[in-house]
Chain A
Amino acid sequence: MNLIVVGAVVAALIALRFLKPNALAWTAATWVALYVAFRWGIEPPLPASIVNMFMGIVTIALLAFVSADSERLRSAKSNIVNFLVRKKYTVPLLIVLVALPLLVAFKIYVDMSRSPQPPVTGRTIHPPPPATISFKGKTVDLGAVENPFREIEETDPEVFAAHVENGKRVYHQNCVFCHGDHMEGDGIFAHGFDPIPANFQDATTIAMLQESYLFWRIAKGAPGLPMESTPWASAMPAWEKFLTEDEIWDVIIFLYDYTGHRPRAKEELH
């Protein structure tokens, strides 16, 4: 969070309370203050799509605020009318009339001066898994399959630790280059990918998934992604060609062990 910007916005909003501007000026000032907070007050910066959506909601809320009270609405409307017709506002009105198209032109100039960008689209982050997959000649039921080593986590911690260690080896031999030393999706190859590799430290990735899902993703990689929601544009290899079944389960154990997340448990049917 950028404390200087946030502090300035809060100070401006407090000042508004004391200055007691008219309804229209208060609404406009609040809108600008919130835009500044969303655009520059949060670090790392919010994507433009989110800032636009937030400002859409803020705009609707402020319009509701102005029009929920007939007296306030009348006041806001009379402010606009006064600004447009009163002689004393002629200069500010001219400034606004000139500034508005200039601002639009400036925005267009900024947008057009940028280097070409790939189109921004909403990506589906969790592709839906199939019911079953074929793994080295056998059928794996993803709805039923469990990590075979998970059950020894409590009953035989030493053997389990050996599986974690083996998973660590597999990870550092194969996965670390993209997913990074700390599993944050920032390995040495990561900069070359769009989208960038998954960040396993994020509480909203592997922590929300069952181990069978990870098994499918690791085993089948990008070539095994479903037809829906394409293009996936994933560079993930199909690791079934390079790893054994046990190695995949071991690396899954290591991912959860290292990040401290727990795999999503299976739901009970009612």
Chain B
Amino acid sequence: MTSGARTTERRLLILGGVSLAATLVLLVATEAFGFTPQDASQPEYRAMPVIGSRVAMWVVAQLHLMFAAFVLAVPMFALIIEIIGYVTKDKRYDDLAYEFTKLLSVSFSFTATLGALLTFMLIVLYPRLAGYMVKIFSWTFFPYVLLFFLEAIFLYSYYYGWGKFSPKVHIALGVGLNIVGTAIMFIADAWLTFMNTPNGISETGELVSMWDAVNNFIWMPINVHRIIANVAFGGSVAAAYGAYKFLGAKNDRERAHYDWMGYIGNFIAISALLPLPFAGYWLGKEIYAYSQSLGITLMGGTFSWLFIIQAVLIGNLFLAANYYLWVSMERIEGAERYRKFIKYLLASIAVCFLVWATPHSLVASVEESRAMGGSHHPVLGVLGVMSAKNTAVNILILTTYISFLLYRRGNKEATVSWARTGNIIQFSIFAAVIIFVVFLGVYGYFVEARVRIGLSVPQVLSVLFAMIAVTIIDIFLFKNAKIRGEIRWGDMPARAQYALFFIAITFAWTMGLMGYVRAGMRQHWHVYGVMADTSPDAFTPTLGFASNVISITVLIFFTFIAFVFWLAGLSGKKTVSETVEEAP
């Protein structure tokens, strides 16, 4: 690493640390001096000039969340890749894990600074809410800050200690980093989920049980959803970094390395994307169970149109991920055999995409509504509900898995005696699971809503079964397989790299959108049912306005990320492994 980059990183670290320490002091002072809602001298709100308090909080919170997601996710897969490298004694994995980790240090400082800014703004702009949250959660701030410092210690030891500690000690540091990072997220999740589904308080809003306030109704669903989403998001940003470096690569060796990095990042992102919809359904189900009002606001009411945008974004994500795999097959000698299947896979994705994006209530003129007999189309209406969506997303996931399977097989030819039987069994599993998933989807229309939601569980389990069973068979099927040709890493068209950028940006946009829904579904409540929002912003902005704010936030995030990429590039003087051309 260059000394300039090192100095900049250290300055950013100091800035982050100072910001965090100042936040702690402010929080403690807020509690110690009793800045509670009862203080007549305290204004309930202060206005942020020009953009308003809500937009300011919204943008900073979302930026903090995006960086935090990245900083929490990268150590997870960096550690796994490092362990693979350690176990297989393959230095390329160690290089790759280090390359991922390089993106962390600056991002960590950004996260800390934005977190501090968020807290300052909460205290300054929303003193009543800040006071109440401090009153409820004051004792969670101390372990939070302690964990944050521990994370800084683990992260910088992990990064700067690369190659200097023994591998086992280094891996232990990585494990510590992940445990501490996850614990931090769990604490922060308690605060924000409490605002949606408050628990552990009396009717007047006084704290009764700290643990119940933390372990509120959607705390664990959000924790699980965020861990998975963070990995997907982190993987996609890391893949975008690979694409960025690939496009600027000076020689074939660099191109091969960054092509591989982009592939691995995308593989991580898509692997995490596959279970994400199910974690989302669990979260949605718990929200509905907590409050019919919140559930309807979320899925059938005010924010229902937002989920159509989400469906379009996620449909595009799946399409782009498959597209990347299909284009990637061109660098595999022998994969030409499977290219004829691409059109069928694409047709499956397109149909599932159409179903998923079909709204429940259609945007129609009066004449169109009359012709349909209401806002629901008699033919298309059936596609607008849970059964159809679940079926579509399950088949979308299976299709993506099949794309990956074909990619994996690209240059391999099974040599085992039972190869034909194995293929037939794999095909039969796919066929049986698709029939089962479609059957449950159709059956869902003939049972009541609660049973229908429950049908998503066997659908998901059958898809998971198919993926696990087929993978196990595939591993044995291609053991000692004949290799038909090489994988020409680096021999990739530029458009595949732009697909990786597209995936990262779409992930960020989807995160922003979902962050808005999670906070916005409280509508005119700061803490749902406990503390009303009495500020001038106590209304739900239009979808168009929200989309603009989210888009600007995503733009700012990627401007920052571009800086992170540039800085990481300055420190990227570590020699790439000589054997990288043979990367898998």
Contacts and interface: CB of A to CB of B under 8 A. Distances in A.
The 7 lowest CB-CB distance pairs between A and B, nearest first, are A267-B289, A126-B300, A128-B297, A47-B364, A49-B363, A61-B350, A199-B374
A120 B296 contact: no
B169 to A, nearest CB: 40
B368 A199 contact: no
Contact of B346 (A65, A126, A185): A65
B293 A265 contact: no
Contacts of A79: none
Contacts of B353: 57, 61
A48 interface: yes
Interface residues of A, number: 68
Contacts of B319: 60-61, 64
B450 A267 contact: yes
A204 B381 contact: yes
Given A117-B365, A127-B301, A265-B448, A204 B373 contact: no
B330 interface: yes
B46 interface: no
A54 interface: yes
A64 B380 CA distance: 25
A193 to B, nearest CB: 9
Interface stretch (A152-160, A205-213, A234-242, A246-254): A205-213
A123 B449 contact: no
Contacts of B547: none
A118 B364 CA distance: 10
B365 A1 contact: no
Contacts of B450: 264-265, 267
Interface stretch (A66-74, A88-96, A98-106, A166-174): A66-74
B327 interface: yes
A204 B376 contact: yes
Contact of A270 (B286, B312, B372, B449): B286
Interface in A105-143: 117-118, 120-131, 142-143
Interface in A40-85: 42-50, 53-54, 57-58, 60-61, 64-65, 67-70
- Dominant secondary structure of chain A at its interface with chain B: loop
14 contacts: A43-B379, A45-B371, A49-B364, A53-B357, A57-B350, A58-B350, A122-B305, A122-B361, A128-B296, A195-B366, A199-B373, A264-B450, A267-B288, A270-B217
A228 B302 contact: yes
A268 B289 contact: yes
Contacts of A121: 363
Contacts of B372: 44, 47
Contacts of B385: 203-204, 208
A269 B289 contact: yes
A228 B342 contact: no
Nearest to A193: B366
B539 to A, nearest CB: 7
Contacts of B349: 61
B339 interface: yes
Contacts of B323: 64, 67-68
Given A186-B373, A204-B384, A124 B363 contact: no
B377 interface: yes
B566 interface: no
Interface in B119-146: none
Contacts of B523: 128, 228
A68 B375 contact: no
Interface string A217-244: 0000000000111000000000000000
B365 A120 contact: yes
